[in-house]
Amino acid sequence: MKHIEIYDTTLRDGTQAEDINLSTEDKIKIALKLDELGVRYIEGGWPGSNPVDRSFFSDIENYALKTARIAAFGSTHHPNFQAQEDPNLRAIIESGVSTATIFGKSWDVHVKEALRVTEQRNLEIVHDSVAYLRQKLSEVLFDAEHFFDGFKANPDYALAVLRQAYAAGARVLVLCDTNGGSLPSEVATITASVRKALPDAALGIHAHNDCELAVANSIAAVQSGATHIQGTMNGVGERCGNANLCSIIPTLEQKFARTYQCLPEGRLPQLTRISHFVSEVANVQPFSRQPFVGRSAFAHKGGIHASAVNRMASLYEHMDPEEVGNRQRVLLTELAGRSNIVSIARRFGFHLDKDEPVVKGLLKELKDNASLGYDYAAAEASVELLLFKKLARRGVRQFFRLINFRVIESKQGRDAEPMSEATVMVEVEGVEEHTAASGRGPVNALDNALRKALSGFYPRLNEMRLLDFKVRVLNGSKRSDGGTASVVRVLIESGDQHSRWVTVGVSFNIIEASWQALVDSITYKLYKDEGEQRAKLG
Amino acid sequence: MKHIEIYDTTLRDGTQAEDINLSTEDKIKIALKLDELGVRYIEGGWPGSNPVDRSFFSDIENYALKTARIAAFGSTHHPNFQAQEDPNLRAIIESGVSTATIFGKSWDVHVKEALRVTEQRNLEIVHDSVAYLRQKLSEVLFDAEHFFDGFKANPDYALAVLRQAYAAGARVLVLCDTNGGSLPSEVATITASVRKALPDAALGIHAHNDCELAVANSIAAVQSGATHIQGTMNGVGERCGNANLCSIIPTLEQKFARTYQCLPEGRLPQLTRISHFVSEVANVQPFSRQPFVGRSAFAHKGGIHASAVNRMASLYEHMDPEEVGNRQRVLLTELAGRSNIVSIARRFGFHLDKDEPVVKGLLKELKDNASLGYDYAAAEASVELLLFKKLARRGVRQFFRLINFRVIESKQGRDAEPMSEATVMVEVEGVEEHTAASGRGPVNALDNALRKALSGFYPRLNEMRLLDFKVRVLNGSKRSDGGTASVVRVLIESGDQHSRWVTVGVSFNIIEASWQALVDSITYKLYKDEGEQRAKLG
C-alpha cells in the first residue's frame, strides 16, 4: 500500500472561512482530535500574524501528540529583507515547531503584480527562505502558490520556482490551486509533468473548492504521483473552502482496492465523530448532505430504495456506513428502535421487555419530540431522563416540582449594563422554597435561583458546573412572523468530577428552552448520584 | 461550440432529499424559474407515484414555457405485465407530456436480486417499455440505473441493456452512477468505452455526490463524449444529493475556452438569483460556501488577499463573479484597512480622506470591538452604523434614544407556556414614548414594544422584517463561573422589499446582545431610507 500524508490546515486556512473564528482553546481541542484521527500534520496557524496563532504554538507544547506533527505557516521573506532578518520567518522559528510550511510565488504575473520584484529576485527569495528555515528546523514544506495557473501561463518559470525550493531543501513541493479554478484533467496532466521534471521530489496538492472540484483535483493529483494532501475538516476555508479531508480520506482508502493508506489502521471509523466535533467547536451547522459523515449521507427516503436497502444494503449503498463511523438511516422508521430503549434502561438497572407499553410510549414520545427539533443524538442525558420519568411509578422519585419562575431584565439608558434577576418557587421534599437571585444574564440568574432553592436539600449539586451552552435557531429564515419568533434549541453541557452530560431544550422562547435544558441537567445529576449510591449499597 | 443538454431533476430526484418537500405550487414556481434560466428539460415527477406529481403535470400545461420541455419519470414495466398494460407507463402517457424518461436495470446483480427476473427477461422489459412509450410520445430517454457498477461487474450485459434501449428508440442513453461511488477516472474510461461501442447514440450522465465527486464525474463524462447532463439546483437530492447544476453549468461554460454551451446566450448571470430562489421555495438555508452562487463564494477575508483583490481582482479570483450574477465581498475583520472604511463611506455619500481622524478612530473602534467578539465580517450593517455615528457631527441624525427597557418572563407550573412581556421607554423626535408589548419569547416582545414606540414616527418600519437570528456562545467552556455566564454574540438578519442586512450584538447577557443587534437593525433601516430619499432629492 502506498502511504499518503494527510496535512490538515483547518486551524489556519480553515479559519479564513467567513463564519469560522477559533480561540486558542478551540484550536487546542481540535488539534487533539485531529491527532486521535491520525493525520500526519496539523498546521496550527501563522505565528507572524496574530496573537491567537502565537499562543496556540506555546500552549500545544503542553500536550504529547501521538501521530501528528505541528506545522507553522508563513510566507517567503519580504523582498526588502534578507531571510535571516525577516520578522515573519523569525516568528516561525520562535514558535518552537520543527516543521514549517512557507508559500512562495510561482505564477509570473503574481511576481510582477503582487510581489513587484523581478522573476530572478523571486527565485532567490524562495531559495533563501527555504534554506534559512532548513538550517533551523528539521523540515520545511514549500507551498507553490497559484502553481497550476502559473504553469499554464509559464511552465518553465513555475518549474524553476519548484527547483529552487527543492534545491534549498524543501521536503515536499506542494502544488497549490489557490484560486480553485483548475479542472481535474489539468491537475492530472500538470502534476504528471512535474513528476517527470522532478522525479525524486515528494509532491503535494493543495486544492480549493471554487468549482466544486477540490476533492476530484486532490485525487487526480494522487493518481498522477502526489503523496501529500492538504485540506481541512468538512472542507471549511476561504470563499468556497479547501479540499475536504472528510471526503478525500475515505475515497482514497475505500475506492482504490487498498492501494492507498491515509490514516493509521483502524482510525477511519472515527471520522464521523471527529467531523461533528469540529463543527461543534467551530459552532457551525453541520451540513446534513455532506458525503460520508453527514446526517443524511446514508439516509434513504425513497420507498423503493428503503425497502431494497433492508433486503440487501449494498444494492443502494456504495459502502458500509460503519467504515466511516456513520450509520444507515431509513427515514420514516427513523428513530431508535425499541431495543435501544431497553438497552439504555438496562444501563440504569431497569430490566424491561421490548413489548412493554412503557417502551412503546417512550418511542412515540421520542419521535414526536424529534420532529419538534429536540436533538437527542447530541443530548443522550435527556433521553435517559424521559425514561426515568416514564418509570416514575416503579419507585423513581421526583426530586422537585416547579411552581413558577419569573425573570426580570432591566436596562437603564443606552450604555448601562442590564440587570438580571430571577425568582423561583419550587416544591422540594414536600417543602415550598421561594428564592431570588441575580446573575450575569437571565439564564445564569435562573440557574442561581434554582440552585439556591435545591442545594440545601441536595448538597452534591455544588459539585456540578455548567460547562457549555449552545444555542441554535431552527428554521430561521421562513416564518412569516420574523426570525425572533423562530424555534430555538439550547444544548447545555454539565459536568462533575466523574462525568459530563448534555441536555436539550426546545421552545420558541429562549428562556424556556434554556430552562428545560437546565432542569434536565440538574435532575440528571440527582438521578446519577442516587444510582451510584444504590450501586454502592446493592 | 458543442451544445450540452441540461436536464434538471430538482422536482423529482431533488425531492428525495431528507429536508425537501415541495407542494404542487412550489414545483410550478421552480419550473418557471428553470425555464427562465434556460435548461433544456425539467423532470416534473413520477406521475405513477403520488398526487403532487400528478397534479404538477396537469397544472404546468397552463403555462407557456420558453426553452424547457417537461419530462415525466418512471420505471420500465413490471415483470408481471406487458408494457401496454403497465399502470406506471400508462400514468406517464396520461400525464400529457411529450418526453418520458424511464429507468431500467443494467447491473446484473440488481436484475437478479432486486427485479428477480432472468437477464434475458430484463432485456425484453427494457426494449418493450421504451418501444411502447416511443409509439405514444415524441421522445423517450433511458436512464441506465447503476450503469457504472454494472459495467464494472459485467460490461457485456451492461452494454446489451443500452443496445436494447437504443434499438427500441431511446433518444438519449443516460449512464447513471446511482449509488454515487464511482471515480472520475472510472467514469471517463467507461463512458469512452460506451462511446466506442455505440458510436451513434447520444449519451448522458446522471451522477450522485456520495464521494463529493458528482460534479467531476459529470464533467469527466462530457470530456469522454456525453452531451446530456442530469442534475439538480444546488445539488439537492437523496443521501448526499445529485450532481449540482449550479457548479456544472458555469464550469463547462467558463473553464473550457468556450468549447461547451449549456444555456442560451446571456442566461448564466441569472444563476445566483435562481439558485437562491429555489432554496427559498424549498425552505432550506442556502449553503454559504456553495461554489459560484454562495454568499461566501467570492468573499475575501485574509488581509493579504483583501488588499491584493482591491488592486487586481484576477489575482485571487478564478473568474468574474458577475458572470454568474454573484458579487465580490471584502470582509471587514480586525485586519480591515482604512481604504475599506473610505469606500464604505463613499457608498453613503460621505467623501472622507484616509488620513482623517474619524477614519483612524473608527478603525480603532472596529479592532477593539472585534477583539470582544463583534463579528463585523458577518455584520456589515453594524460597521456602517458605527461610521454614521462617528459622522454624527456632520449632520447625521439620531432617530431615537433609549431611556430604559424591562423584560419579564414568567412561567406558572412545569407544563405552562411562559409569558413574555416587554416595556420600552424611548425618546423619539423630542417625545417620550412608553410602550408595552408581549411576544413569543423575550426578544420578540422587545422587538414588538420598540416598533410600537417608533412606527408612528417612522411608518416605513412596517416594511421591515426580521429574517434570521443566530446565537453563538463565545469561549463557552472556559469561564470559571459556568457556561450560562459566557459571552454571547447575536447576529440578526433583517430585510425589506429592497435589501437585506445583518447586525451584531455582544454581551454576557443574551437579551442585551439581542437588543444591540435589534437597535442596530432598526436604525440601519432608518438611515437607509433617509439615504434613498436624499439620493432622490439630490
Residue A186 sits in the same domain as residue A306: no
Domain-located, residue B140: yes
B214 domain-assigned: yes
Q: Which of B452, B474, B496 lies at the terminal end of a domain, its last residue?
A: B452
pLDDT in tens, A451-482: 999 999 999 999 998 887 888 777 543 444 44
CA distance B323 to chain A (A): 14
**Which of A211, A319, A335, A408 to mutate: most B Cβ within 10 Å?**
A211
Q: A312 to chain B nearest CA, in Å?
A: 8
| Residue A104 contacts B, CB cutoff 8 Å | no
> Are residues A315 and A175 located together in one domain of the fold?
no
Nearest chain B residue to A490, by CA: B471
Chain B residues with beta carbon closer than 8 angstroms to that of A472 = 471
Task: Give the closest-approach CA distance of B537 to chain A in angstroms.
Answer: 32
pTM of this prediction exceeds 0.95: no
**What is the distance between the alpha carbons of residues A197 and A189, in angstroms, rounded to a whole number?**
12
Share of chain A above pLDDT 90, in %: 62
Whether the Cβ atoms of residue B465 and residue B495 lie closer than 8 Å to each other: yes
For chain A, say whether B410 makes contact (Cβ under 8 Å).
yes
Confidence of residue B16 (pLDDT cuts 50, 70, 90): confident
Burial of A258 by CB count in 10 Å (0-12 exposed, 13-18 middle, 19+ buried)? exposed
Residues A432 and A322 in one domain: no
* Per-residue pLDDT, B154: 98
Query: Does A293 map to a domain?
Result: no
Q: Where are the alpha helices (DSSP H) in A38-117?
A: 51-60, 87-94, 108-110
Q: Cβ of B331 and A18 within 8 Å?
A: yes
Q: Chain B contacts of A299, Cβ < 8 Å?
A: 18, 238-239
| Pairing between β-strand B400-412 and β-strand B419-428 as defined by DSSP bridges | antiparallel
Is the same domain home to A15 and A55?
yes
Maximum mean pLDDT: which of A8-22, A246-260, A325-339: A246-260
In a domain, residue A196? The reply is: yes
Note the ipTM here. Answer: 0.77
pLDDT of A397 strictly over 80: no
Work out the minimum CA distance from B169 to partner chain A, whole angstroms.
27
Where residue A349 falls among pLDDT bands split at 50, 70, 90?
A: confident
Mean of per-residue pLDDT scores for chain A: 88
Cβ pairs A/B, distance under 8 A: 382
Residue in B with minimal Cα distance to A416: B404
Nearest 10 degrees: Cα torsion A130, A132, A137, A141: 0
pLDDT digits (tens, 9 = 90+) for B295-315: 899 988 755 555 666 667 777
> For residue A348, what is the enclosing H or E element?
none
Domain CATH for B98: 3.20.20.70
In whole angstroms, give the CA distance from residue B340 to residue B345: 9
Considering its fold, how many domains does chain B have in total? 2
What is the crossing angle of helices A338-347 and A380-390, to 10°?
A: 90
pLDDT at position B56 over 50:
yes
Residue B25 CA to residue B419 CA, distance in Å, equals: 37
B300 vs A contacts (CB less than 8 Å) = 238-239
* Domain of B410, in residue numbers: 400-452
B351, with CB counted inside 10 A (0-12, 13-18, 19+), is exposed
C-alpha cell recorded at residue A465: 458546573
CATH code assigned at A504 = 3.30.160.270
What does the DSSP assignment read for B271-310?
HHHHHHHHHHHHT----TT-TTTSTTTTEE-SHHHHHHHH
Q: Looking at beta carbons, which residues of chain B come within 8 Å of A16?
A: 301-302
Selected residue with higher pLDDT from A8 and B21: A8
Q: Is B245 on the interface with A (CB under 8 A)?
A: no
Residue of A168, A121, A165 whose CA lies nearest to A147: A165
Determine the distance in angstroms separating the CA of B281 from the nearest CA of chain A, rounded to an integer. 10
Q: Is A216 on the interface with B (CB under 8 A)?
A: yes
B244 has pLDDT over 50: yes
Report yes or no: B211 at the A interface, CB cutoff 8 Å.
yes
- CATH code at B442? 3.30.160.740
Q: How far are the Cα atoms of A223, A468, B56 from residue B141, in angstroms, in the given order?
A: 34, 55, 20
Q: Burial code of B328-343, b = ≥16 C-beta within 10 A, e = fewer?
A: bbbbbbebbbbebbbe
User: Are A311 and B179 an interchain contact pair (Cβ–Cβ within 8 Å)?
Assistant: no
Amino acid at residue number B116: R
B218-238 burial code (b ≥16 CB/10 A, e <16): bbbbbbbbbbbbbbbbbbbbb
A411 and A315 co-located in one domain: no
Residues A278, A414: one domain?
no
Average pLDDT, chain B: 88
Q: Are A477 and A483 in contact (CB under 8 A)?
A: yes
Q: Does the pLDDT value for residue A332 go beyond 50?
A: no
A 254-283 → B contacts, CB under 8 A:
255, 283
Nearest to B171 by CA among B147, B206, B203: B203
Tell me the DSSP string of A477-536.
TT-TT-GGGSEEEEEEEEE-SS-EEEEEEEESSHHHHHHHHHHHHHHHHHHHHHHHHHHH
Partner residue opposite A477 with nearest CB, options B16, B467, B508: B467
Picking from B238, B256, B274, the residue at the C-terminal end of a domain is: B256
Domain membership flag for residue A343 = no
- Together in a domain, A46 and A113: yes
Q: Among A102-111, A255-264, A275-284, B151-160, where is mean pLDDT lowest?
A: A275-284
Supply the pLDDT for residue A479. Answer: 40
Q: What is d(CA B450, CA B454) in angstroms, rounded to the nearest whole number?
A: 6
Question: Is A123 in the same domain as A271?
Answer: yes
Per the domain annotation, does A294 fall within a domain? no
Assigned domain for A142 exists: yes
Name every chain A residue with its beta carbon within 8 A of the beta carbon of B239: 289, 296-300
Kindly identify which residue of chain B lies nearest to residue A145, measuring between CA atoms: B316
Out of B185, B215, B235, whose CB is closest to A223? B185
Q: Which ranges of A427-477 would DSSP assign to H, the alpha helix?
A: 442-454
Cβ density class A55-72: b for 16+ within 10 Å, e for less: bbbeebeeeeeebbbbbb
Q: How confident is the model at residue A374 (pLDDT cuts 50, 70, 90)?
A: confident
B134 touches A: beta carbon within 8 Å: no
* CB within 8 Å: B299 and A484: no
Inter-chain CB proximity A283 and B514 less than 8 Å: no
Residue A276 Ramachandran class (φ > 0 left, ψ -120 to 50 alpha, else beta): alpha
Are residues A404 and A262 part of one domain? Answer: no
Same domain, A69 and A22: yes
Is the per-residue pLDDT at B480 higher than 80? no
Residue A108: CB partners within 8 Å, gap ≥ 6?
A119, A150, A153, A154, A157
Residues A140 and A241 in one domain: yes
Neighbours of A522 (CB within 10 A): 24
Query: What pLDDT digit, counting tens, does each position of B312-350 carry?
Result: 777 789 999 999 999 887 776 544 567 677 767 776 677
Task: Identify the weakest region by mean pLDDT among A119-128, A212-221, A369-378.
Answer: A369-378
- A439 → chain B, closest CA residue: B485
B 329-368 → A contacts, CB under 8 A = 331, 334
Amino acid at B20: I
- The stretches of B38-183 forming alpha helices (DSSP H) are 51-60, 87-94, 108-110, 119-136, 147-153, 155-167
Residues A213 and A304 in one domain: no
For B166-190, write each residue's pLDDT tens digit.
999 999 999 999 999 999 999 999 9
| A406–B407 CB contact, under 8 Å | no
Residue with cell 412606527: B455
| pLDDT value of residue B44 | 96
Q: Enter the DSSP assignment of B378.
A: T
- All three cell numbers of B510, joined, read 443574551
Q: Is the pLDDT of residue B275 over 80?
A: yes
| Residue A348 identity (one-letter amino acid) | F
Amino acid at B238: E
Nearest alpha-carbon partner for A519 in A362, A393, A400 = A400
Task: Say whether A411 and B510 touch across the interface (CB within 8 A).
Answer: no
Confirm whether B42 is domain-assigned.
yes
User: Which positions in chain A touch B312 (Cβ < 8 Å)?
Assistant: 113-114
Q: Who contacts B295 (Cβ-Cβ below 8 Å, separation ≥6)?
A: A18, B286, B288, B329
Measured CA to CA, the distance from residue A496 to residue A501 in angstroms comes to 9
Nearest Cβ partner of B404 from A283, A291, A411? A411
Could you give the dihedral angle defined by the CA atoms of residues A478, A483, A488 and A494, in that order, rounded to the nearest 10 degrees?
A: 130
Please name the residue ranges forming H helices in A61-111. 87-94, 108-110
Closest CA to A15 of B334, B285, B318: B334
In this model, does residue A393 exceed pLDDT 70? no
Query: For B443-473, how does the pLDDT look when each residue is reduced to its tens digit (9 = 90+)?
Result: 999 999 999 999 999 999 999 988 878 787 7
How far, rounded to the nearest angstrom, does the alpha carbon of residue B420 sit from its chain's CA centroid? 35
- Helices in A283-328 by DSSP H: which ranges? 303-311
